[in-house]
Amino acid sequence: MNCNITITADIHPTEDPAKVKLAVNNLFSPSSFTILDTHGIQQLTATITQQSGVKKFYTRLREERIISAARRWLRQNLHDSIITFCLHKQAAYSNRISFCAPEGESPLGPIRVTVFCDNPRAFIDWLAPRTTNK
């Protein structure tokens, strides 16, 4: 399966960029990071080009026993060949997965994940397989 993943997070003036990077690193293993300043707002962007970059997320889903919930979330946010979802930034900093809405649920803004995939359903089946016979 051929996927490219982009992870973005706004860095507010009250936040330490190293802590936002750590939040992303707790759940993923990006191949690159950049921090850009656009109109006074910093934004961290990380990229993943290999499946191994998602292995931490894969493992956390199993450790937290939230595979079914993750599968539902991913399938609901699948549009054509793109999967988009948001993660609670403070939960990620604590090495936990918490899916959230793009606005309002994460006080300092979410971590936004965009998966561009040639076969997104296969990606979802690998990351969060069915856990029941439904």
DSSP single-letter state for residue 107: T
AA identity, residue 101: A
Which position has the higher pLDDT, 124 or 108? 124
The percentage of residues in the chain with a pLDDT greater than 70, rounded to a whole number, is 98
Length of the chain: 134
* pLDDT at residue 134 tops 60: no
* pLDDT at residue 2 tops 90: no
* CA 79/CA 40 separation, integer angstroms: 32
What was the pLDDT predicted at 129?
95
Q: In what helix (H) or strand (E) does residue 75 lie, and over which residues does it extend?
A: helix 67-76
Residue (of 129, 134, 133) closest to 67 by Cα position: 129
Pick the CATH number of 3-127 from 2.40.30.10, 3.30.1450.10, 3.30.1440.10, 3.40.190.10: 3.30.1440.10
Instruction: Check if the beta carbon of residue 110 is closer than 8 Å to that of residue 52.
Output: no
Residues 42-84 pLDDT 10s? 999 999 999 899 999 999 999 999 999 999 999 999 999 999 9
